[in-house]
Amino acid sequence: MSILLTDDNRLVGTLPPNIGLTLPNLQFLAMSRNKFSGPIPVSLSNSSQLEKLLLYRNNFVGQVPNLGNLLHLRWLAFHANNLGNNSSKDLDFLDSLGNCPKLEILYFSENHFGGSLPNSIGNLSMQLTQLDVAGNQISGILPAALENLTNLTFLSMTQNLLTGSIPTYFGEFQNLEGLSLDGNRFLGLIPSSIGNLTRLVTLNLSQNKLEGSIPSSFGNFKSLQELDISENSLIGAIPINILSSQLLVLNLSQNSLTGTLPVEVGNSRNIYRLDVSKNNFSGEIPRTLANCLSLEYLYLQGNSFQGNLPPSLASLKGLQYLDLSQNNLSGMIPNDLQELSVLLYLNLSFNNLAGEVPTEGIFRDASRVSVAGNKELCGGVPDLQLQPCDIKVEKKRGKSHAFKIAIIISSGIFSLTIISCCLVLYRRRKSEKKLTSTHSKSDPLSKVSYRELYQLTGGFSQNNLIGSGGFGSVYRGILPHEERMVAVKILKLQQKGASKSFMAECNVLRNIRHRNLVKILTCCSSVDYSGNEFKAIIYEYMPNGSLEKWLHPDIDNGNLSRNLNLLQRLNAAIDVASALHYLHDHCETPIVHCDLKPSNVLLDDDMIAHVSDFGLARLLSPTNHLSHHQTSTTGIKGSVGYAAPEYGMGGEASTQGDVYSYGIFVLEMFTGKKPTDENFEDSFNLHNFVKIALPEKLVQIVSPKLLTRREVDEIAASTKEDNYKYNDHDNDIEEEEEEEKEEEKSYVGEESQMNPNVQKCLLSVLQIGLACSLEPPKERMNMEDVTRQLHRIKNAFLGFGFSR
């Protein structure tokens, strides 16, 4: 036996002490994400052919045995266990690993290792690219021998007890893309040599005791996307040259930084999180922030910013959290802030703001707005408990001035009365000509009748049928009087009387708005011509259809063969992740989709992906109400292949279940294989198909449509061309081959090497798909992290991070 995979189960107990003696030819041993306990068997050193040893996320205890006989070992991961006992000998196993010349990845984070890093760490393989020791009790200063590991691409020492200065030799790690030293006790200045790491994508030095200014050499970063140096004792101004276009996250909070927020912040047009709170910044809030159209989180509180609130902040349509509290801001609150439709939290407290508080948009909900400590504010919704905005007429202007004002007011009231009367007459006449479906916009939800839906879909004609699924069938039609194409979903009712509050719940769903959710226009609750209960939802029409038809066109049924390139698929993954993040984390009541799959993802004219059918599992439940603060759902819990495994064992629907479906969705998009593929049976599924193949057989599992000459020319601008036909490498790896036309031959070399930029992008995305589709729900990623990681991957692919 050369491969033994038992990961992602609920296995308990200890490993057999003689496992290495009975399985001497093992090459790949994966037992991660179980509940194994006891020590790691010493006999594993006898399995001398081992290349991958994955024991992470279990309950192993004791010391790590001598593994120096594993000369072929490339990947060793035993993080997230209970190994070590905070003693000085916990890290002695590093001495033996110096005998493993092929070691590339070493993870032993989240254990109980104590003591200092030994000098023998410098004897580790020169091929080592990833080292993670985070979340232990490792203390002392970093050894000088660490500088030998010059091929590292990722180094994490987060949340330990390390002291001393950050070594200057880190500047020699020219391949480093991720450096995390946060949560330690590092002292002194940030070495300027860090600026030599031009490939760095993520840098986290937060929660230390660092002093001095931010090095100007940070302007040398060409790929940096996330910079976090918060919670230190840094001083001075923000170097202008760190505000680059590839930056996604900048956290400088809780330092002693001074000066202004540079107008050059507008250069960071892709940034989505900016936190400079609790410093000593002053001056006005720069209007150039309006250029940062991707901003979702903006934290400027606890400084000395002055002047008016820039109305241009209202152009940040994606803003979700805005905190400007505890500054010296003055003037009125711009009414335009009411237009920020996805804003979830607004804090303007303890400034010097004056005038009337708006009452629309987020200002309608006092629980999400704070304006305390602004003595001159008035009005707003009653729950804000502000003084009324009275009309005051100065006495010194005399009676004549008051008389003029009275005349103006009286004239205005008279004019408004006349206009109102005209509008009433106009609407009354207009309503007499309209069908019952065209109610005034002031109605909470305009209803349509069964008769109208029957007519606009041609009697629910097969010619107008555009899709069907677990929730029902979808027809297209044109709404009367609006000349607008819509999609009508006729719901399959789980039982008679399902969701008696259907219309009220539809209204709640209709008010859930996000750019990546299909917009609900109206609903219908009636009976059909046979007297059966009838419920339907009318959606905005998506002209480019479902993602399913793009991924798997049915040519026999007249669907044209069409393709999505790599960037379009990556954009779709981001769009869907953003929608789920919003449903899970930013709705008043978290909404579980329960049936995420490509056929429920629709594409508009601009190929932007929109998730449909959100909230329907709950809507069709006979006992569920959207007003309840719960996420459980009865009834429909997904489709075969996409449903989370816990659902098959009676588990309640959850956001983690959606994450699993999303992971399968991502793997399907980039491999081109459905989870219901006939080759997948028993425990061998799409997840394991990808997992076993990565990273060596990436070329063999990705969709051939992503490897065509045309697509790579368009997206990656590669320079080398060759012909390649997929070969069978393994019984577990099934290729889709000989379906491409001659002009679309795979754009890889004779040694199965695709363009490095494309390869890194695909590998990163597939790893996210795997992390989302893990069997244990608690081990899966959350959608906020997924969205953030995908944005990083996209920016890197476009030239901001991955080297070409």
Helix (H) or strand (E) holding 109: none
User: Mind listing the pLDDT tens digit for each residue in 724-748?
Assistant: 222 333 333 334 334 443 333 433 4
| Structure confidence at residue 728 (pLDDT) | 35
| Structure confidence at residue 719 (pLDDT) | 31
Give the pair of three-digit tokens for residue 569: 């698929």
CB atoms within 10 A of CB 176: 26
Tell me the CA distances in angstroms from 165 to 14, 172, 188, one per residue in order: 42, 16, 6
595 is catalytic: yes
Residue 523 near residue 535, CB atoms below 8 Å? yes
Tell me the CA distances in angstroms from 25 to 1, 22, 168, 185, 560, one per residue in order: 6, 9, 43, 44, 50
- Alpha carbon distance 149, 279 (integer Å): 36
Report the half-sphere exposure of 687 (CA within 13 A, side-chain side): 24
Catalytic annotation, pick one of 182, 275, 323, 595: 595
For residue 192, pLDDT over 60 is answered with: yes
Residue 46 near residue 65, CB atoms below 8 Å? no
Q: Look at the domain 542-800 and name its fold.
A: Transferase(Phosphotransferase); domain 1 (1.10.510)
The CATH-assigned architecture of domain 442-541 is: 2-Layer Sandwich (3.30)
Give the pair of three-digit tokens for residue 514: 């996000």
Buried b (16+ CB within 10 A) or exposed e, 626-645: beeeebebbbbbbbebbbbb
| Structure confidence at residue 627 (pLDDT) | 34
Give the pair of three-digit tokens for residue 442: 């002031």
Residue 20 near residue 1, CB atoms below 8 Å? no
- Alpha carbon distance 75, 28 (integer Å): 10
Helix (H) or strand (E) holding 108: none
Helix, strand, coil % (nearest 5) of the chain? 30, 20, 50
Find how far residue 314's CA is from the centre of its chain.
23
- Alpha carbon distance 5, 742 (integer Å): 39
Residue 278 near residue 254, CB atoms below 8 Å? yes
Task: Tell me, yes or no, if the two domains 1-162 and 258-390 fold the same way.
Answer: yes
Binding site residue list for ATP: 489
Tell me the H-state helices in 672-734.
686-693, 698-701, 709-715
Binding site residue list: 489
Which has more confidence, 524 or 554? 524
| Structure confidence at residue 58 (pLDDT) | 95
Nearest 5°: phi and psi at 392?
A: -105, 130
Tell me the CA distances in angstroms from 731 to 250, 727, 728, 735, one per residue in order: 47, 11, 8, 10
CB atoms within 10 A of CB 545: 15
Residue 359 near residue 333, CB atoms below 8 Å? no
Place of tokens 């057989």: 697
| Structure confidence at residue 501 (pLDDT) | 60
| Low-confidence winner among 39-53, 234-248, 508-522 (lowest mean pLDDT) | 508-522
pTM over 0.85: no
Q: In the structure, what pLDDT confidence band is assigned to residue 197 with cuts at 50, 70 and 90?
A: very high
Which has more confidence, 433 or 157? 157
Helix (H) or strand (E) holding 634: none
DSSP class per residue in 143-160: PGGGGG-TT-SEEE--SS
| Low-confidence winner among 291-305, 400-414, 741-755 (lowest mean pLDDT) | 741-755
| Structure confidence at residue 630 (pLDDT) | 36
Give the pair of three-digit tokens for residue 635: 């009834």
In eight-state DSSP terms, residue 715 is H
Helix (H) or strand (E) holding 14: strand 12-14
- Alpha carbon distance 423, 431 (integer Å): 12
- Alpha carbon distance 379, 356 (integer Å): 5
Is 523 buried (19+), middle (13-18) or exposed (0-12) by CB count in 10 A?
A: buried
Query: What is the mean pLDDT of the segment spanning 520-527?
Result: 84
Average pLDDT, the chain: 82
Query: What is the mean pLDDT of the segment spanning 48-56?
Result: 94
Residue 120 near residue 96, CB atoms below 8 Å? no
Is 780 buried (19+), middle (13-18) or exposed (0-12) by CB count in 10 A?
A: buried
Which residues make Cβ contacts (< 8 Å) with residue 22, sequence separation at least 6? 16
For residue 414, pLDDT over 80 is answered with: no
Name the class of domain 1-162.
alpha beta
Tell me the CA distances in angstroms from 442 to 445, 499, 562, one per residue in order: 8, 25, 43
**DSSP-based three-state secondary structure for 405:** helix
Axis crossing angle, helix 566-585 with helix 655-671, rounded to the nearest 10 = 180
Residue 224 near residue 248, CB atoms below 8 Å? no
User: Mind listing the pLDDT tens digit for each residue in 14-37?
Assistant: 999 999 999 999 999 999 989 999
Query: What is the mean pLDDT of the segment spanning 543-561?
Result: 73
Q: What is the CA radius of gyration of the chain?
A: 30
CB atoms within 10 A of CB 90: 22
| Structure confidence at residue 344 (pLDDT) | 86
CB atoms within 10 A of CB 532: 10
Give the pair of three-digit tokens for residue 599: 């056929």
| Structure confidence at residue 390 (pLDDT) | 77
User: Mind listing the pLDDT tens digit for each residue in 233-262?
Assistant: 999 999 999 999 889 899 999 999 999 999
The domain locations on the chain are 1-162, 258-390, 442-541, 542-800
- Alpha carbon distance 186, 188 (integer Å): 7
Query: In terms of Cα–Cα distance, which of 412, 415, 427, 540 is closest to 488?
Result: 540
Query: What is the mean pLDDT of the segment spanning 693-713?
Result: 73
For residue 525, pLDDT over 70 is answered with: yes
Query: In terms of Cα–Cα distance, which of 701, 770, 756, 749 is closest to 729?
Result: 701
Hey, which CATH number is domain 258-390, 3.80.10.10, 3.40.50.300, 1.10.3210.10, 2.60.40.1080?
Answer: 3.80.10.10
User: Mind listing the pLDDT tens digit for each residue in 610-664?
Assistant: 998 887 766 545 444 333 333 333 345 668 889 998 888 877 889 999 999 999 9
| Structure confidence at residue 223 (pLDDT) | 87
Query: In terms of Cα–Cα distance, which of 6, 51, 12, 4 is closest to 31?
Result: 6
| Structure confidence at residue 481 (pLDDT) | 64
